[in-house]
Chain A
């Protein structure tokens, strides 16, 4: 169960009318390394991970949903006032044909989100290493998105999200260390 706060985790301000950027940002909305995939991956793996790190996966999954809201806000702001012509020029003509200006879970190339993007092997180390890799890939995606815009306000929000991927990666690395350590440890009397 969740308690919902009706505000974003970090402010999203978009200052430049750049419909094309909306298309690119959807990579982090419905892409393989996007926030939806991240949230669902951790929220599902948490059931079969050792007790000590269940809370970590739940917490990070929850934060990923907060990031998903931020990305959705960016895409919405960039598309809500766009004309059909502007959407077509930005490469979103096919999107408009299917969805109007509604957001949808697909990647920047328009490929719909699929559960094959996420894994749950049941082996705690395999799952945590997958999670670390997912965080690094999301970090890299944010870097390329920051490179693609000169809107400093949008860059600011994207830099926040990139930093969070770094923190999550470290927490998953710590989870691996916790699982490595516990049993072999000698009790000193």
Chain B
């Protein structure tokens, strides 16, 4: 579990028609906690910056698509 996500627990009724998803999750990426970037933050190498999309590691936000158990479809769930 990434620290950049939060969980919540929706109400589950005994009369729900479908199997319940008990835990839902959402992203809380780093920009929410920075507001104004301080100077002289450590930097990625150019290659790493291109790969991750950002020059500063502290702004990097990973995203894991395999979140089925957390209430998100994943892995080509739209069918083939």
Contacts and interface: CB of A to CB of B under 8 A. Distances in A.
Residues of B in contact with A, size category? 20 to 34
A177 B52 contact: no
A50 to B, nearest CB: 17
Given A169-B31, A174-B35, A143 B78 contact: no
Contacts of A21: 78
Contact of B78 (A20, A142, A164, A167): A20
Contact of A166 (B29, B65, B72, B77): B29
Residues of A in contact with B, size category? 20 to 34
Interface stretch (A35-43, A73-81, A93-101, A154-162): A154-162
Nearest to B72: A147
B30 A174 contact: no
Contacts of B37: 170, 174
A155 B65 contact: yes
B31 A143 contact: no
A10 B51 CA distance: 8
A150 interface: yes
Nearest to A160: B53
A121 interface: no
Interface of B: 27, 29-31, 34-37, 50, 52-54, 59-63, 65, 67, 72-78, 80
17 contacts: A10-B53, A18-B76, A140-B27, A148-B77, A149-B65, A149-B76, A151-B76, A159-B62, A160-B53, A162-B63, A164-B53, A167-B53, A170-B37, A173-B31, A173-B34, A173-B35, A173-B36
